[in-house]
Structure 1
Amino acid sequence: MSAKKPFALRLDEKMMQAVEKWAADEFRSTNGQIEWIIHEALKKAGRLPKSDAK
């Protein structure tokens, strides 16, 4: 697994609540859900490095 880089993210309160609920619905942590959302968006846009495009 690659190293993780800490990053501060500011979200609107209602957006954060929506992400937290989505994460709970899918049995993920909020952080894990945000990582998954970003990964899926990068994959869809064709912007993942070849080694990460699963």
Structure 2
Amino acid sequence: MNDKKAYPLRISAPVLDAMQRWADDELRSLNAQIEYVLREALRKNGRIKAESTKSATKD
């Protein structure tokens, strides 16, 4: 089951532009790229298990 929730995000224009360029390079949507970066940061800091990151796919 995919329990996605909408969340409004305020982000500076330069950060958003950089994330969009990165998403384009990785062939992901901007939303998928933001989620990927957050998930990887959580995994690296021991906040979620590594198995939780395997279900993600490129958009």
Distance 1:35 1:20, change over 3 A: same
Number of residue pairs matched by the alignment: 54
Aligned-residue Cα RMSD (Å) equals 1.7
Structure 1 partner of 2:27 = 27
Identity, in percent, stands at: 43
Choose between structure 1 and 2 for higher RCO, CA contacts under 8 A separated by at least 6 residues: 2
Letter in 2 for 1:25: D
TM-score, normalising length from structure 2? 0.81
Structure 2 partner of 1:6 = 6
The gaps in structure 1 that reach 5 residues or longer are none
Query: Deviating runs (4+, > 4 A) in structure 1?
Result: none
Residue 23 of structure 2: SS of its match in structure 1? Answer: helix
The gaps in structure 2 that reach 5 residues or longer are 55-59
TM-score, normalising length from structure 1? 0.88
